[in-house]
Structure 1
Amino acid sequence: MITIPSLIAFTTGSNYPGNLLIYHQSFFFVLFGFSRINVNFAKVPTINKSQSLYLLLLTATIGIIPYIVVYGPYINLKNLLLMDVYETRFKMRPLSNPYFGYSYSVFTKIVIPLIIVFGLELKKKVWVFVGALYLILFYLFGAHKSVYVGLFVVFIFYKFSYAKSIHFILKYSCVLIVLFAVLAYFGWDYPWILSFRRVHFSSALLDICYLDFFKNNYLYWSESIFKGLIEYPYDVQATHLIGDLYFKRPNMSANNGFISDGYMNFGSTGVFINIIIVSVYFSILNSLHIPSKYFGLYLVTMFSFLSSPVSTVFLTHGGLALLLASIFLLNKRPTAQVTR
């Protein structure tokens, strides 16, 4: 997702900075290096599936109460038919608070999809229904269709092994690339732009913009973790700043991944800090014995790192919650072999 598009973009000429190529390729080698490190979690206790289900149900039931109290009076059932969606979003946007911001993705991308999947595995139809009801409620708390992403990708890859999942992605990606290229040739390029170009090359383009603007002009995390300690020098968020200056769209939120995030905060040092953090994260996940049926959850997180700052992925997109769930709920401890 980074290495090959980066190499292709590098062939475009002088507009592509050489240090960006180094960052992208370094990530590949650092990630590969950390993937060879195996962290032993054999002695870490795990919660069995039945206990996990009830723990997740308790978490979701308690966690949804503030949403019902704040958003409940503004629920519009027409949103279920995709009507009045933007009106609902406009009404509910001012009601948001830090709790909702940090917990929304955790519930919709991890907790509730796992409730439904565990319920299906344990043949607990009542809890499957409750999980589906919770997911619908979270959709109505703002009419964000993205709440179904976590569940959708889990079900797509639920029956596949890891090898079959990769084969599935490559197979249908190739089919869609050819189809969208043909459509673009005949004048309808929107599917091509929305899928292939946006997924593979928008990140590289935004990286170029971030490296150009923040060269020797770093933020030192004044917009995030050091917000109260270091003064942020601009009147608008960095994402809107890039959207305005490079795309002439002041309202555009030009979110980008960990390369841009690291560079705008601390230059090359920030980039390599983020590369190490992301590599360690996936190294830990790689050391766990996660059944392939949950591959979809990790696919969502992988894309999040390509489109959002590292701190945002961990805190608001569920990256940290997924790591904890992986260690204590999803990790399948190897069965000890009995020797005779």
Structure 2
Amino acid sequence: MVISKSLHKGYKIALCISAFFVVLVTIHIIAKEGLHFFNLNLSKVYEFRRASAQTVAQGFFAYLNNWVFKVFNMFLLTWALYKNKKIFIIISLLLQVFFFAISAHKSVLFSPILILLIRYISSKKQLPVLFPFFYLTGIGCSLNIFLLFNNIWPLSLIVRRALFVPAFLNFKYYLFFQNNPLIYFSNSVFIKRLIHYPYDIPVPLLISEFIGHNPESWANTGFLGAGYAQLSYLGIIVYSVLIGFILRIVNNSTKTYPFWVGSSLIAIPIFSVFTSSDLTTGLLTHGLALGIFLLWLIKTNIAKST
């Protein structure tokens, strides 16, 4: 009885923590006059992103905003879907659109779409077939949009940005650090006091200059390129083992409730780790560690409710 009671409180704690920080970030955005940057035009996000970040994403909120956009609000959406609370589903979706309009990050807008897709596909028996089917359908629709309306943006997002850009950047990281000093985690806030960072600018800006892009653009890559930048091939191996260990923890935590619930909570941070962030950045900045913590809080209580 004592264990059951504490786990029930754990589930409530997860909801309360998520709701509290979602409300806090919303109030912070309004208080900082972030509404001046409200924009729903996907083609203009780069015009607003930097100014918005300088206003509403300074200090601790640079981290907290990410956690709210990618973990806390997505947890509330997942909970609402699981409990079939339609009003909370709508509120969570509207909040996510609001967060996108202020932050000017397209990933914020598409995060709930990924969760809704996971929820839908998980209810079907042909799970291994549906994922590639939907992706190929998206490519086909994007290609038709390009051919009919000469609009390359959907095709660029679904094909170029999702498939080619991560692979291209991983290879450029490999080329650069094959002939230049490795980082050895000296770009970390904690390690840089012990190990000298060998460059004058952050690694993503360094790689952007190396490939001849805008020197102010950030060439972020996933764990393969980032792992090589840290420890060469050993970094790739270590990161791969750690990610496998993390996924094993998540898998063990989701045995007592529907697979899609656990998948939804870590889908966005995991996607970042595979495509656009170092593993350490994914765990902290992108909220993967928080997602695992929320899974731990809710796992047995959900099993009890089912």
Q: What is the TM-score when the length of structure 1 is the normalising length?
A: 0.70
Tell me the alpha carbon deviations over residues 136-167 of structure 1, each in whole angstroms, 9 at most, x when there is no partner: 55446534453333322222232432754443
Q: CA deviation at 1:170?
A: 1.1
Look up the match of 2:107. 146
Q: CA deviation at 1:265?
A: 1.1
Look up the match of 1:106. 67
Change in Cα spacing, 1:304 to 1:171, as seen in structure 2 (3 Å) is same
Which one of the candidate residues 229, 252, 262 is aligned to 1:264?
229
Q: What is the TM-score when the length of structure 2 is the normalising length?
A: 0.77
Look up the match of 1:200. 163
Counterpart code for 2:33: Y
Look up the match of 1:157. 118
Change in Cα spacing, 1:134 to 1:160, as seen in structure 2 (3 Å) is same
Q: CA deviation at 1:214?
A: 0.7
Change in Cα spacing, 1:286 to 1:267, as seen in structure 2 (3 Å) is same
Say which one has the larger Rg.
Answer: 1
Counterpart code for 1:61: F
Is this contact kept in 2: 1:102–1:316, CA < 8 A? yes
Q: CA deviation at 1:277?
A: 0.9
Matches for 1:19-168 after TM superposition, within 5 Å: 47-48=7-8, 52=11, 55-62=14-21, 64-65=23-24, 68-69=27-28, 72-76=31-35, 79=38, 82=41, 89-95=49-55, 96-119=57-80, 121-122=82-83, 127=88, 131=92, 134-135=95-96, 138-139=99-100, 141-161=102-122, 163-168=125-130
SS at 1:256's partner residue? coil
**Greater fraction of residues in helix:** 2
Which one of the candidate residues 245, 253, 260 is aligned to 1:293?
260
Change in Cα spacing, 1:332 to 1:283, as seen in structure 2 (3 Å) is farther
Is this contact kept in 2: 1:109–1:149, CA < 8 A? no
Tell me the alpha carbon deviations over residues 195-231 of structure 1, each in whole angstroms, 9 at most, x when there is no partner: 2243223322222211111125201111125123222
Give ranges in structure 2 of 5+ residues lacking alignment. none
Give the share of equivalent positions with the same residue, in percent. 23
319-328 or 74-83, which deviates more: 74-83
Change in Cα spacing, 1:66 to 1:206, as seen in structure 2 (3 Å) is closer
Is this contact kept in 2: 1:52–1:329, CA < 8 A? yes
1:239 aligned onto 2:199: no
Counterpart code for 2:252: S
Change in Cα spacing, 1:200 to 1:150, as seen in structure 2 (3 Å) is closer
Counterpart code for 1:301: P
Counterpart code for 2:217: M
Counterpart code for 1:261: A
Which one of the candidate residues 222, 241, 246 is aligned to 2:186?
222
Look up the match of 1:23. none
CA distance in 1, matches of 2:12, 2:230: 40
Look up the match of 1:305. 273
CA distance in 1, matches of 2:88, 2:161: 37
Change in Cα spacing, 1:234 to 1:45, as seen in structure 2 (3 Å) is farther
Is this contact kept in 2: 1:119–1:128, CA < 8 A? yes
Is this contact kept in 2: 1:157–1:296, CA < 8 A? yes
Is this contact kept in 1: 2:177–2:229, CA < 8 A? yes
CA RMSD of aligned residues (A): 3.7
How many residue pairs end up in the alignment?
292
